[in-house]
Amino acid sequence: DTAVSQTPKYLVTQMGNDKSIKCEQNLGHDTMYWYKQDSKKFLKIMFSYNNKELIINETVPNRFSPKSPDKAHLNLHINSLELGDSAVYFCASSLARGGNSPLHFGNGTRLTVT
């Protein structure tokens, strides 16, 4: 069984469109994250939720809106997509709140905006 699963794996879309990425974890963790990995492989935190509560919201355009319907799911909705949004987006989860326990990553969603 996949511990952290993301869908879709690939997403190709045009500028100006709205798209969503879904994430689910079956590890029973309380905390979930979205990370963005750019073309140079740099991993940057975007958001973190703990038991459906937003606890980290980095400097991300408000076109990005995370939603956590329950502690096992964290979705990412992106409005008005731009070329610069092209990246790999990783969902992750951890047992403890904060960054001092191991992260379990999904396999990523490669978003290409044309």
Partner 1 sequence: GENVEQHPSTLSVQEGDSAVIKCTYSDSASNYFPWYKQELGKGPQLIIDIRSNVGEKKDQRIAVTLNKTAKHFSLHITETQPEDSAVYFCAAHRPQAGTALIFGKGTTLSVSS
Give the one residue of 13, 22, 56, 77 binding partner 1; rule: CB under 8 A: 56
Binding of residue 60 to partner 1 (CB under 8 A): no
Q: 8: cis peptide before it, omega within 30°? A: yes
Give the one residue of 45, 52, 76, 78 binding partner 1; rule: CB under 8 A: 45
- How far from 44 is each of 1, 14, 63, 70, 73, CA to CA, in Å? 27, 24, 17, 24, 20
Binding of residue 105 to partner 1 (CB under 8 A): yes
Residue pair 65/80 in contact (Cβ under 8 Å)? The answer is no
Kindly give the pairing relationship between strand 43-50 and strand 53-57: antiparallel
Residue pair 112/11 in contact (Cβ under 8 Å)? The answer is yes
Give the one residue of 8, 16, 61, 102 binding partner 1; rule: CB under 8 A: 102
Binding string to partner 1 for residues 63 to 92, with x set by CB under 8 A, is what? ---------------------------x-x
Q: How far is the CB of 84 from partner 1 (least distance, A)?
A: 19
Binding of residue 41 to partner 1 (CB under 8 A): yes
